[in-house]
Amino acid sequence: MPLHRLALIALLSLSAPGHAQTAVPQAGEAPAQSEAPSRATEALLEALRLDELLAVMREEGLAQAGTLQADMFPSGGGTEWVRALDGIYDVSRLRKGFAAAIEAELGGNPEILSEILAFYATDLGQRVVLLEIEARRAFLNEAAEDAARVAADKRRASRDPRAGQLERFIAAGDLVEMNVAGALSGNLAFMTGMNDSGAYGDGLPRDQLMQDVWGQEDQIRAETRSWLEAYLGLAYQPLDDAELDAYIAFMESLAGRRLNGALFIAFDQVFRRVSYELGRAAGVAMLGTDI
């Protein structure tokens, strides 16, 4: 399982410039400084209900951190571990980093921003945002996620036309490969954080870390496709075929592609840092030293 599932909010196709980057922040590195987001960028973040999404992602992250604790240091990480998690998943900090990345990618193109905002001003645009966040929140419940996976298997086996639409949605944005790239990037960041904490003794060379991470690629790809089919199936279940087709059409437009590219870059930048910090905090907790 990827340590972090990149957010699948809206418009996840990505044929815009840029792929997930693999540079990892080093210990003590300060976040890059950037100008405040423009009004149009802020309007987009509000239309995407970013604060609600990040709140759900905080819950996801804390749940995943609990699983890490149970697997790696079941006796508990102490108050320092808890304090570190609260800072790592601080929603205001995550939002600041995300907003800066979106501004860098889209702030200089007001025409594209205007087209994107026009879509999200429609009833369909607002519906899909809400449906995607609700589905992500539902997946906090393991039983709900399992049920969605079973439903996805049934759709595929019965050749349900909705399965074909979802496949078009996935293929249009190369969602599997882009999410695999993001997951590998995040896992490398996590292991780098562990390495920097001293959890691996004298440390491991970067090429060994990369070899270990890329050895997970096939497993992550299979899991990513399974998760996408389940998640998207649950999220878009209330949409009729015409509505989903309209959403796919927007995804395939220039504005949709540019937004998707910006979203992937923003989430990669923000959660690569989260992964690094989580790995370092976990390594320190394993060693029983101060974070």
Q: What is the pLDDT of residues 4-52, one digit of tens each?
A: 333 332 222 222 223 333 344 443 343 444 567 899 999 999 999 999 9
Tokens of 234: 């649950």
Residue 12 lies in a domain: no
Residue range(s) defining the domain that contains residue 256: 39-287
Is 96 buried (19+), middle (13-18) or exposed (0-12) by CB count in 10 A?
A: middle
Residue 182 lies in a domain: yes
Q: Give how many domains the chain has, as a whole number.
A: 1
Residue 260 lies in a domain: yes
Residue 91 lies in a domain: yes
| Cα first-last separation, the chain | 26
Residue 187 lies in a domain: yes
Return d(Cα 71, Cα 60) in angstroms, integer: 17
Asked whether the CA dihedral 32, 109, 44, 11 is positive or negative, the reply is negative
pTM: 0.85
Residue 8 lies in a domain: no
Q: What is the pLDDT of residues 199-258, one digit of tens each?
A: 988 889 999 999 999 999 999 999 999 999 999 999 999 999 999 999 999 999 999 999
Residue 91: CB atoms within 10 Å: 15
